Amino acid sequence: MTATSSEPAFDSQEFLQNLTHQPGVYRMYDANEVVIYVGKAKDLRKRIGSYFRAQVDSVKTKALVKQIAHMDVTVTNSEAEALILENTFIKKYRPRYNVLLRDDKSYPYILISDHKHPRIAFHRGTRREKGTYFGPFPSGLAVRESLRLLQKLFPVRQCDDSYYRARSRPCLQHQLKRCLAPCVGIPSEAEYQEQVKLATLFLNGKNQQVLNELVQQMEEASRSLAFEKAARIRDQIAALRAVQERNAVSGTQHELDVIGLYRESGFTCIHLLSVRHNAVQGSRSYFPKVPQHTSDAEIVESFLFQYYLNRQHGQRVPAEIVVPDCIEHPKQLMTQLRAALDGSVTVLAPKRGERVQYRALATKNAMNAVQSKLGTQSTMHTRLLALNKLLKRDDVVNRIECFDISHTMGEKTVASCVVFGPEGPIKSEYRRFNIEGIQGGDDYAAMAQAITRRYKHAIERENVPDVLLIDGGKGQLTQAEAYFQDWPNPPVLLGVAKGESRKPGLETLIFGFDRRTVQLSADDPGLHLIQHIRDEAHRFAITGHRQRRAKVRKTSTLEEIPAVGAKRRQNLLKYLGGLQQVKNATIEQLANVPGISRALAETIYYALRDE
């Protein structure tokens, strides 16, 4: 039955409240589970929120909103990835409220012509001209942006043939070093064809091969003392690295499923990305019921067997399945799956490359799904009731605050205070405190100072919490007891001490003043709420500490990073184009440098960002 009321068929306010600000793609469904609209966004919450404003001028938007039964989102790493994924979904679902092109002839392409001196050009329509076509692209704007990028990276002509034949001297593009000027015979044939070859490889997605060839050319130029040529190639490498944006929604993998896993505060999410024909064709989040103390590997293995053995009629098992790195023996799992499915399938837990990018995207979507789940009103209501039962309160808890301390060996200590209400986190009331005047590493003194500063004027402002959580043991809790001991109606004080193994679910709760201790079961909703608030306080504290510490560390070089010797430093600078490019590189880009493992890439990445 299709929704006919003037209001949306689902709770848009709750959906928006728990929506991320990251870029991504959203899909709108009607009551019959049919996709009626696909869109992209640089900021998902802001873009989707614009559909549900009180005043909407567009008649089309009003009609669309009336039919929405539910929505889902797929988070991407960038707006560019969202653009590509949106195009993929539009071609797959063909939603009736999207603008649909009649066929692929209307899509724009990039053409490398078949001339003596080939040109790179925009093309739309019938492919009559001889040459190599790349695409289709989702829009003409995407093609023009790509052409501007190519012009910066590879000095191949983009002018039309009439302009090319009429030249008697180099044009402005040559002066800007964006064209070799083959029209007047400046480059040799080999030099020009080499740049055409590199541009072709780049458009085919073989970026690493392009970089390897450029590095080899730079070294050859250096050995032959052609330093100006080596400098030009070095700049070309730097430019390629600067504008290269890894795309995690399209690539060269023809058919695979990618599994992402994320667990937090009692929720477990498995996100499945389906990659077909070199692009993400769909994604979905699953929330399995997980018994206590179940390992990540067991969760993934159980999901794989249940999902693929119970697949619908006609649904094919992909050629490859990419699993999280918690699977220690993927070959053994592959053998079991092949026997169960009576077919050929490859199970991989990759350490680098394109598949790792897909897996990172799946994990990112799993994390987003869990965080949205944590913020829903129904979840908060259930957990607050469980917390009320633990505290034996008659009144419902309306305000919870939590403190945490963060520092590195006593350096630049920061205390955080996060605030939660019946609907989840109240981020506008979060506070950080830069702790001064104490001995470095004295967490007790830091906690005392933070509490004093936080609640100095709390009574007159009427923002005293019902429950105050202290991340720590009896020592930290003592500081809160000392401050509130003379208050007529102090908040309920609750210390959250980690268990011996520091694993979630083993926390001990210590009540203030009477020092009564409680250890809840790992699946208790009240404990999950406490864990969620504690983790949020920890995140907020450590973020502030890192920002503060970065201000006092002015310089940091590769020489200061353990395990990065002279050879590795040389490779990093050579393959990435300079120190600034190394600092701006992602973990995947660092790991692609010869001699740099995934673990070392992470060490370098975080060392340079912790400056």
pLDDT attached to residue 457:
84
**Contact residues for 461 (Cβ-Cβ < 8 A; gap 6+):** none
pLDDT attached to residue 249:
55
Tell me the pLDDT tens digit for each residue of 14-26. Answer: 788 778 888 889 9
- Do strands 255-264 and 320-322 pair parallel, antiparallel, or not at all (unpaired)? parallel
Domains 12-100 and 388-552 share a fold: no
Higher pLDDT among residues 125 and 456, named by residue: 456
The two tokens of residue 139 are 């829009």
Question: At 447, is the pLDDT very low, low, confident or very high (cuts 50, 70, 90)?
Answer: very high
**Contact residues for 464 (Cβ-Cβ < 8 A; gap 6+):** 399, 455, 458, 489, 491
Helix (H) or strand (E) holding 301: helix 296-309
Mean pLDDT for 55-84 is 83
Determine the Cα–Cα distance for residues 566 and 569; give it in Å rounded to an integer. 5
Mean pLDDT for 520-528 is 85
Q: At what angle do helices 227-243 and 207-223 cross, to 10 degrees?
A: 160
What SS3 state is found at 414? Answer: strand
Question: CATH for 12-100, among 3.20.20.70, 3.30.465.10, 3.40.1440.10, 3.90.1150.10?
Answer: 3.40.1440.10
Superfamily of domain covering 255-374: Ribonuclease H-like superfamily/Ribonuclease H (3.30.420.10)
Query: Is the pLDDT score of 319 beyond 80?
Result: yes
Q: What share of the chain is helix, strand, coil (3-state, %, to 5)?
A: 45, 20, 35
Question: CA angle 469-470-474, nearest 5°?
Answer: 130
Mean pLDDT for 483-492 is 89
In order of 53, 71, 72, 287, 291, the CA distances from 16 in angstroms are: 12, 11, 11, 20, 31
- The full set of domain ranges for the chain reads 12-100, 109-204, 255-374, 388-552
pLDDT attached to residue 377:
65
Tell me the pLDDT tens digit for each residue of 87-100. Answer: 778 878 888 887 65
* 99-113, 347-361, 425-439, 478-492, range with the lowest pLDDT: 99-113
Query: Is the pLDDT score of 162 beyond 80?
Result: yes
pLDDT attached to residue 242:
53
The two tokens of residue 469 are 């959580």
Q: Which residue is associated with the tokens 């959250």?
A: 496
Residues in the chain: 611
**CB neighbours of residue 81 within 10 Å:** 24
**Contact residues for 427 (Cβ-Cβ < 8 A; gap 6+):** none
pLDDT attached to residue 269:
92
Query: Is the pLDDT score of 181 beyond 50?
Result: yes
The two tokens of residue 82 are 């969202």
Cβ 194 vs Cβ 201: under 8 Å: no
pLDDT above 90: percentage of residues in the chain: 15
Question: At 256, is the pLDDT very low, low, confident or very high (cuts 50, 70, 90)?
Answer: confident
pLDDT attached to residue 582:
83
What SS3 state is found at 199? Answer: helix
Query: Is the pLDDT score of 284 beyond 50?
Result: yes
The per-residue DSSP string of 328-359 comes to S-HHHHHHHHHHHHTS--EEE--SSSHHHHHH
What SS3 state is found at 506? Answer: coil
pLDDT attached to residue 136:
64
- Do strands 424-425 and 411-421 pair parallel, antiparallel, or not at all (unpaired)? antiparallel
Q: Which residue is associated with the tokens 């633990």?
A: 390
**CB neighbours of residue 392 within 10 Å:** 7
Determine the Cα–Cα distance for residues 337 and 491; give it in Å rounded to an integer. 54
Q: What is the mean pLDDT of the chain?
A: 81
Determine the Cα–Cα distance for residues 294 and 257; give it in Å rounded to an integer. 23
388-552: CATH topology: Nucleotidyltransferase; domain 5 (3.30.420)
pTM > 0.85: yes or no: no
In order of 184, 202, 214, 319, the CA distances from 181 in angstroms are: 6, 21, 20, 47
Tell me the pLDDT tens digit for each residue of 209-248. Answer: 777 777 887 888 888 888 887 887 787 777 666 544 445 5
Tell me the pLDDT tens digit for each residue of 454-472. Answer: 998 887 777 889 999 998 8
